Amino acid sequence: MRIALAQLELSASVEENLNAVKVTIARAAQDNADLVVFPEATMKAFNSGRLDVVAESSSDRFVAEVSQAAHDAGISVVVGMFRPADEVERDGKTMHRVFNSLLLAWRDEDGPGVEFYDKLHLFDAFGFRESDTVAPGNAHVVCDVPLADGLSVALGLATCFDIRFPEQFIQLANLGAEVIALPASWNDGPGKVRQWQTLVSARALDSTCVIAAVDAARPGGAKAAGKDEGPTGAGHSMLVNADGGVIASAGYDPQLLVADVDIAEVERIRRSIPVLEIRD
């Protein structure tokens, strides 16, 4: 299986981000990738305006254009976006919350296949309260997606802060996942890149799944690195094997990283390190 990690620098403009997604889908397909994974919030960067307004006005078109691009290119796509959710009262104000969603789209016989995952664990940490503007999801998602050789792979979905909850990744593996796509807009700051890298490898070991972890590129690149800022992205996307070994990794800047994974290795690793079986 060939996986592309699309580490984009995200903007406030849905149009700019959508165009970048479509261009990158075409590039990944030219590189013969089976799957391309984009960051969390690819539709609109965090800290760049109201999410409810953009979810209401742009989510349907975003889904339609990305899924059609995936279908036309014959590639599976995972991309972060926002969809309308609910209304809640916060400090005397009515908040129109959104779902922090992942769109999974793939080529199907009757047109684009589409599935959504809504982030389960919201980022109420480091002084930030995602739950004020985002509603939590309520379901794990694993889907079979096609590969170029006519086979398929079981793909699980998780988002950013979910990475701090190993039980979610174990549950995805128990539901059949062999690969887990993990889009993020990971906060930069002291020690945050180290935490990200450690957690990605740890979740691969917990679940014995391949982890395709794609963070947004660091605005300002390496020169701005280490400042306590976010959630805007800190780069360092990683493709990690089911035994925790790093197959490929990026730095701070925008990059399309393409690498091959031997899915048969997942079963071999699970026989060698049967943590899922022993846990049961």
Active site residues per annotation: 40, 119, 160
Torsion angle, alpha carbons of 95, 50, 6, 246, to 10: -50
Express each pLDDT in 16-61 by its tens digit. 999 999 999 999 999 999 999 999 999 999 989 999 999 999 999 9
Instruction: Give DSSP secondary structure letters for the chain.
Output: -EEEEEEPPP-S-HHHHHHHHHHHHHHHHHTT-SEEE--TTTTS-TTSS-HHHHHHHHHHHHHHHHHHHHHHHT-EEEEEEEEEEEEEEETTEEEEEEEEEEEEEE--TTS-EEEEEE-SS--EETTEEGGGTEE------EEEEE-TTS-EEEEEE--GGGGG-HHHHHHHHHTT-SEEEEEE-PPBSTTHHHHHHHHHHHHHHHHT-EEEEEEPP-TTGGGGTT-SB-SS-----EEE-TTS-EEEE--SS-EEEEEE--THHHHHHHHHS-HHHHH-
Positions in the chain whose pLDDT score sits under 70: 230
What pLDDT score does 36 carry?
98
- CA–CA separation, 113 and 78 (whole Å): 12
- CA–CA separation, 179 and 175 (whole Å): 12
Query: Side chain identity at 64, as an amino acid letter?
Result: A
Burial (0-12, 13-18, 19+ Cβ within 10 Å), 91: exposed
Token pair 């990200």 in the structure block, residue: 196
Residue 269 backbone phi and psi in degrees, to 5 = -65, -40
What pLDDT score does 150 carry?
84
What pLDDT score does 230 carry?
65
Q: What is the CA radius of gyration of the chain?
A: 17
Q: What is the value of pTM for the model shown? A: 0.96
What pLDDT score does 148 carry?
79
**Smallest Cα–Cα separation from 102: which of 190, 21, 1, 183?**
183
